[in-house]
Each structure stands twice: as C-alpha cells, then as structure tokens.
C-alpha cells in the first residue's frame, strides 16, 4: 500500500491536445485536469469524459492490486 498516490507525482503527468469549439485552437489538458481555458478566446474546453487514474496512472495496477485493476479496466474499456 502507498501512503500517497504515486500518480500524483508531477513528473508522470501526460498532456493531450484538445480543440477549442469556438476558435479551433489547440488547448493542452494534462492527465490530472478535466478542463482548461483556450488561450485565444478564453472558452473553457473540457475533456470528453472524466479521467480515471486506472486509465492514465502507471501505478494504478500496484495501488489497486491485479484482480481489482482488471475488474475496473473491463468496465472502463468499451468492447468491440
């Protein structure tokens, strides 16, 4: 068990580029954020869905344990 979530380590953040619906500008949103403001027009840009640490955190498997991690991954990954 961890005393602090290792996924909160700022060195392990990932960034994704989203498109502003108003101006079409690229907006960077980090893995620990749900939204960011467009630098061109100020519009708030949101991720399509709320992030879950089991999807982006490299330590999620260790934190949750193998069995629980697999159960949660099956629920979050859409099937074919």
Digit-coded pLDDT (tens) for 41-80: 999 999 876 667 777 777 888 888 888 888 887 776 544 4
- What are the sequence ranges of the domains in the chain? 14-75
pLDDT score, position 17: 93
DSSP string of 1-59? --SS-GGG-GGG--EEEEE-TTT--EEEEETT-SEEE-TTT--EEE-SS---HHHH-TT
**Residue 18 CA, distance from chain mean position:** 13
Match 């909160």 to its residue by tokens: 8
Q: Structure pTM?
A: 0.52
Digit-coded pLDDT (tens) for 16-38: 899 999 989 999 998 888 899 99
């Amino acid at each position: 068990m961890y005393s602090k979530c290792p996924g909160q380590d700022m060195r392990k953040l990932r960034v994704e580029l989203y498109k502003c619906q108003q101006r079409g500008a690229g907006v960077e949103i980090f893995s620990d954020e749900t939204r960011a403001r467009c630098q061109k027009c100020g519009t708030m840009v949101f991720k399509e869905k709320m992030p879950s640490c089991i999807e982006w955190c490299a330590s999620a498997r260790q934190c949750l344990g193998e069995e629980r991690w697999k159960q949660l991954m099956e629920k979050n990954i859409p099937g074919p």
